Copies of this chain bind each other. A is one copy, B any other.
């Protein structure tokens, strides 16, 4: 009966739990956590169960109880003037988008799982998405947090103060803690003005470096750009081959492509199309861009975005791949994309590596496709892990992060241990131990409480 919540949505981590608790109030959450702490019963907090890294799935040993926050699903308040809303942990992202739109505002963070992902999970994983360039990740959109701490006491941080220097920022400590330091029950979230007009352009460029120079041109000219996505030719080709109804936005082929969106919230301001045209005209004449087109209609704009959003599906249809959600300093990304792909292709003959995604955030999804004809199950189980360690080593050498937006969960726990300094791991463990001394909050996620043998 609770089977759907014992396994993650991609069916990669099969866990087991004796029971699933669904409290209907914050007080009930407090009662459960206090009892769990007293009896040393581990809890696995769960929202929409859409983690990419097994963060909301219980371990297979059946030691932990699932604590579902989905019944806490009220938008407690929404102040359009102030641009703030308080949403409970179980509010689904799409529902929150709708609530903001009803008040003629928007919540400017979105991602594929918006129909299932909940506010509590988004806060606890510091979720990202395609609008991070201008609005930041959840960390930047969270103005306050309410959470039940390990002893069952309530941390009340919902007051949305722009300035507050009363000691360590516990709100920010809870953001991205993956439920290991407290159970987020509600958050105060910032709303952005609704969009009055947008301009969506598709640009052909020769290199990732040219794409970055184009981004800097846009940034120097203003802050209207909300998305700046980079795609290699092969990602576009995969989409055109495998996704029906798609066609190339530009007449001839280019090695790299950029999808850029600029918006304005001011109905009286000049249309963002003029702004995008101006920057692109200069970039074309300076040789930074090779060709470009601006969507002439909302339908065309949607068609451009559909190409971007279909890459993962198209690549899945192409064959198995080791996927990596990584970031490096933005300035280092153009070189990383070229060098890391070359290094992977050389080290694992027959594979084909490429990255696509949020260039403006220094965050790409770096995928290494299996050699043609490889058996999916065998290759993913036997070959992919060494590919991942190889890619992660390259990321660390470039000063980057092996988890840009998906978190650590169960999936990256060993790699985090392997690649972090002992000082960093000791600090993470000390904080965990300080805030959850009995180790009842989502144990076995984000970090192992004792250093693992491989880390020694």
Contacts and interface: CB of A to CB of B under 8 A. Distances in A.
A447 B168 CA distance: 10
Nearest to A152: B423
Contacts of A169: 139, 172-173, 175-176
A259 to B, nearest CB: 18
A193 to B, nearest CB: 7
Q: Which of A166, A327, A446 counts the most chain B CB atoms within 10 A?
A: A166
A177 interface: yes
A167 B428 contact: yes
A401 B268 CA distance: 37
A331 interface: yes
A162 B327 contact: yes
Secondary structure at chain A's binding surface: helix, strand, loop or mixed?
Answer: loop
Nearest to A171: B172
A430 B423 contact: no
A181 B165 contact: no
A163 B401 contact: yes
Contact of A164 (B140, B172, B327, B423): B327
Interface in A144-174: 149, 151, 153-156, 159-170, 172-173
Contacts of A125: 165
Interface stretch (A57-65, A316-324, A402-410): A402-410
Interface stretch (A20-28, A41-49, A113-121, A431-439): A431-439
A209 B400 CA distance: 47
Nearest to A156: B421
Given A149-B423, A269-B222, A447 B163 contact: no
Nearest to A429: B434
Instruction: Count identical subunits in the complex.
Output: 2
State which size class the interface on A falls in.
35 or more
Q: Which of A177, A401, A446 counts the most chain B CB atoms within 10 A?
A: A401
A168 B349 CA distance: 37
Given A167-B408, A401-B166, A161 B430 contact: no
B404 A163 contact: yes
Contact of A159 (B139, B219, B400, B435): B400
Given A165-B404, A166-B416, A269-B222, A159 B399 contact: yes
Interface string A172-196: 1101110001000000000001000
A330 interface: yes
Contact of A327 (B163, B173, B430): B163
A386 interface: no
A221 interface: yes
A82 to B, nearest CB: 5
Given A126-B165, A132-B163, A165-B406, A423 B82 contact: no
Interface of A: 79, 81-83, 125-126, 128, 132, 136-137, 139-140, 149, 151, 153-156, 159-170, 172-173, 175-177, 181, 193, 216, 219-223, 265-266, 268-270, 278, 327-331, 358, 361-363, 399-408, 416, 420-424, 426-428, 430-435, 446-447
- Listed from nearest, the 7 A-B pairs whose CB atoms lie closest are A434-B434, A153-B423, A430-B434, A163-B404, A164-B401, A159-B399, A172-B172
